Structure 1
Amino acid sequence: MANIAGRKKRIIVTTAVLAAIGGGAAFAYWSATGTGAGQATAAAASVPFTFVSQAATGGPLSPGGPQQTVAFTVTNPGTGVQNLADVAVTVDEAWSVGTTLPCTAADFTVGPVVVTKGSINAGASVNGTVKVTMINSATNQDNCKGVTVPLVFSAS
């Protein structure tokens, strides 16, 4: 029994000594400051908006007659937010039909364009509409009968 009591004393004393040594241990370190450089690369250019137009609705175009409405969608195919400041729609200036009495872009008016302007998130779209009218000119417009008027959409 005395052996057990002496053994317990040694365990308690050893534990106390180890705790005192470990508890009083000091840790040293160096302090330092520094600088560094890094970089990130922005896209080299914005990604052009894309347009998809729908079939025109409304009565058939005729000199001074009804308007047609063309619905369209503008999409931001880029990877970041892009600003849609304006949308312009025109009749393709290079287009004409007929030779003697040509039907040209000058036979039509386009507008107003209605679209929500502002920031468009990556992959998002906004919808818009535009009106197309055939003007009543002082010349024969027979070559404009039955034509499909080519529209050009542009965004800024």
Structure 2
Amino acid sequence: MGDTMRTEKKNSKKKKSAAFVAAGVIGLATAGGAYAYWTSLGGGTGTASTRAGASNVFEVTGNAATSMFPGDTAQTVTATVKNTGTENYKLQGVKAFITTDKQGCDGTDYKINGAAAPTNATDAVAITVTQADLAPAATTTGTFSLQFNNKATNQDACKGAAVAITYIAS
């Protein structure tokens, strides 16, 4: 029986030593960050969209301060452009032309920036304006000169005329 006990103690010491060695190896492996893992590739799809945008979001306002007459001096008109849309829009430029409520009196009886004013959208003249990426409700301004065009012909048709400045923003 003595030999059996000695053998069991020896085996018990071997088992304990093996357990400590195994624990130490596992501990070192864990401490050193030696983890195993698989790598792979993947893919998929997603969707997005953009708004359609709106047309005619620029609102342009600007009036002449005083009534015009033959021989008057040019007055500066400030045109304010406002983004009335719900997204940002970039203002590229502004053009203008003149019409009146009197027959025989048209845009050519007035001057924009020193030249006879155009009378329709096709011939509208560019005015100086600050190009800008306008956020909703943001504004930018532009200026131009407006004056009565004192022609060598009778311009009585323009007496009391309501002059409309039509702006085209893009």
Residues 1:128 and 2:135 are matched in the alignment? no
CA contact (8 A) 1:96 1:105 kept: no
Partner of 2:47: 39
Do the aligned partners of 1:72 and 1:128 also contact (CA within 8 Å) in 2?
yes
Match among 80, 95, 99 for residue 73 of structure 1: 80
Percent identical among aligned pairs is 34
Q: Residue deviations 1:70-125, cap 9 Å, x none?
A: 32211123343322221111113xx4513xxx111121122373321132223311
Q: 2:109 aligns with which of 77, 102, 107?
A: 107
C-alpha displacement at 1:151, in angstroms?
0.7
Unaligned runs of 5+ residues in structure 2 are 1-22, 28-34, 115-126
Query: Pairwise mapping of residues 58-97 of structure 1 onto structure 2 (< 5 A)?
Result: 58=66, 60-92=67-99, 95-97=100-102
Indicate if the aligned counterparts of 1:54 and 1:70 stay in contact, CA closer than 8 A.
Answer: yes
Q: For the Cα contact (< 8 Å) 2:59–2:83, is it kept in 1?
A: no
Larger Rg: 2
Report what 1:53 is aligned to: 61
* Change over 3 Å in CA distance of 1:110–1:64 after alignment to 2: same
Structure 1 gap ranges (5+): 1-19
Matched, 1:151 2:159: no
Distance, in Å, in 1 between the alignment partners of 2:145 and 2:156 is 22
In the TM superposition, what is the alpha-carbon distance from 1:41 to its structure 2 partner? Answer: 1.2
TM-score (norm 1): 0.65
TM-score normalised by the chain length of structure 2 = 0.61
How many residue pairs align between the two structures? Answer: 131
Q: How large is the RMSD of aligned CA atoms in angstroms?
A: 3.0
State the one-letter code of the partner of 2:129. V
User: Would you say the 8 A contact 1:67–1:131 is kept in 2?
Assistant: yes
CA contact (8 A) 1:53 1:73 kept: yes
Say if 2:74 and 2:147, in contact at 8 Å, map to a contact too.
yes
